[in-house]
Amino acid sequence: MVLYQKVRRNKRKFLALTSLTDTEFRELLPYFAAVYAEKYEGNKTLEGKKRKRAVGGGRKSVLDKIEQKLLFILVYQKDYPLQEVLAEMFEMSQSSVNDWLHRLLPVLGQALDKMGLMPERKGKNFAKTEQKKAEKPKYIIDGTERRIQRPKDPEKQALHYSGKKKQHTDKNILIVQADSKRVTYLSPTQPGKVHDKKVADQAKIRYPKKATLHKDTGFQGYEPKLKRSYQPKKITQAKV
């Protein structure tokens, strides 16, 4: 079974499983623990009813410690495995995995929000949100795609088929702070066929006035109001 006290000793494995270093994990842990304690009071059941048994009584949970709970949900977020795979990793039933995912995902989201790490979701609010940060307004914008199950409807198949990935996908636009690598903005989800520039145009992102933006050729012609943007030149094949 994947145990926190064991995997934390291997820095590479821990990073591969959670996308965090152990130091970053320990920084997140108290926020996660506080939200969990607030959301699921110790003297009540998950349904909000008063416990008939003392806390800790009965069958011991695989995720009995808060460190194990955080490890579990981070592994899911990082690698997005099937629930059956996660069940094998943590020696749980698939139904228990499903229950814990629904319980812990909101807790993780609220904990990250309390830390100020959740990305802005509304383009028009991006500049205002970033002005509160102490970091320089140096950004990188890029599109990211994730594979989805092939839709049964032919029209949806065509809409979600990404020629770039050669598979059916959903797409989002990310803006990352260049120095800290913090994800500062996450666009609404679009079908994989939609061009990166079109997604960015539809988001109507407002940047800080002194912002600089690095972009790839997928954003050719995307020129929002900011201090300066950088884009590599597209290489063309030489004529023989």
For 84, how many CA atoms within 13 A lie in the half-sphere containing its CB? 0
Residue 44's alpha-carbon distances to 41, 66, 98, in angstroms, are 6, 17, 21
Flag whether pLDDT at 192 surpasses 70.
Answer: yes
For the stretch 134-154, pLDDT in tens is 899 999 999 999 889 899 999
pLDDT tier for residue 95 given thresholds of 50, 70 and 90: very high
Flag whether pLDDT at 25 surpasses 60.
Answer: yes
- Span 141-168, mean pLDDT? 91
pLDDT tier for residue 61 given thresholds of 50, 70 and 90: confident
Residue 233's alpha-carbon distances to 85, 142, 216, 220, in angstroms, are 43, 16, 9, 10
- Span 118-138, mean pLDDT? 93
Cβ–Cβ < 8 Å for 203, 175: no
Tell me the whole-structure pTM to 2 decimals. 0.73
Domain ranges of the chain: 4-114, 123-230
For the stretch 193-209, pLDDT in tens is 999 999 999 999 999 99
Cβ–Cβ < 8 Å for 72, 90: yes
Residue 14's alpha-carbon distances to 5, 35, 72, 73, 88, in angstroms, are 11, 23, 12, 13, 18
Q: Residue 51: left if φ>0, alpha if ψ -120 to 50, beta else—which one?
A: beta
